[in-house]
Amino acid sequence: MKSTSPTRATACWRSDGHVAAISFRDHHGPLVENPGMMNIGLDIDGTITGDPSLFALICRDVLREGAVHIVSSRSPEARAETVGELAELGISYSALHLLPPISAAQALCPHSGLDWYQRHQWLKVDYALANGLTHFVDDDRKVLALFDRFAPSVTAIDFKSRKLLLELIRPADGSQ
């Protein structure tokens, strides 16, 4: 394995050039190293839809030896439409989880000190912990803050850091 160290991230590459493990260190979480399987979560709106080509590459590479969970606050009633949109965008995944309605989140979230929106978005954190996610990418700073507070073991990655992800998937020497 070769190792590459961009400013805030480290990737370990298999001999065939594909990502074997990624470690991130930034203001959204501690260094998380996963020498085995990557188990990532991705938001849809503003994240996948913000750079679908990049996330199609990420999903393809991670799925070789890991899992990709799409976790969104889209309505469960929009599942068929969402599956179709993800297919059109070229996004492959292991699981698709659509959060229950906001009204249900108020009862499901045990943190009464959170406002209604945070309680709903906290369900992404709950899903990540229940499914052993190692990384979660979202464009919403409030969601990232919830991961920092309630799931420090999951590396929360700001959508704005997506170019680092591209560097990890596509090594500088061009191998893949």
Query: pLDDT tens-digit profile of 42-69?
Result: 999 999 999 999 899 899 988 988 899 9
In a domain, 11, yes or no: no
Other residues' Cβ atoms within 10 Å of the Cβ of residue 59: 22
Domain that residue 109 falls in:
37-168
In a domain, 150, yes or no: yes
How distant, in Å, are the alpha carbons of 70, 108, 117, 132, 172 from that of 101? 17, 11, 11, 23, 43
Find out whether 44 and 72 touch, Cβ atoms under 8 Å: yes
Q: How many CB atoms lie within 10 A of CB 22?
A: 26
**What region, left, alpha or beta, does residue 46 occupy, with left being phi > 0 and alpha being psi -120 to 50 degrees?**
left
In a domain, 27, yes or no: no
12, part of any domain: no
**For residue 97, what pLDDT band results from cuts at 50, 70 and 90?**
very high
> Looking at residue 164, what is its pLDDT?
66
Q: What is the CATH number of the domain that holds 51?
A: 3.40.50.1000
Asked whether residue 148 is assigned to any structural domain, the reply reads yes
Q: Is residue 142 part of a domain?
A: yes
pLDDT in tens, 14-43: 444 444 444 443 333 333 344 457 899 999
The pLDDT of residue 70 is 98
pTM of the full structure: 0.76
CA 127 → CA 26, 31, 43, 136, distances in Å? Answer: 22, 21, 12, 11
Rg (CA), the chain: 16
Give the count of domains, the chain.
1
Phi, psi (rounded to 5 degrees) for 134: -100, -25
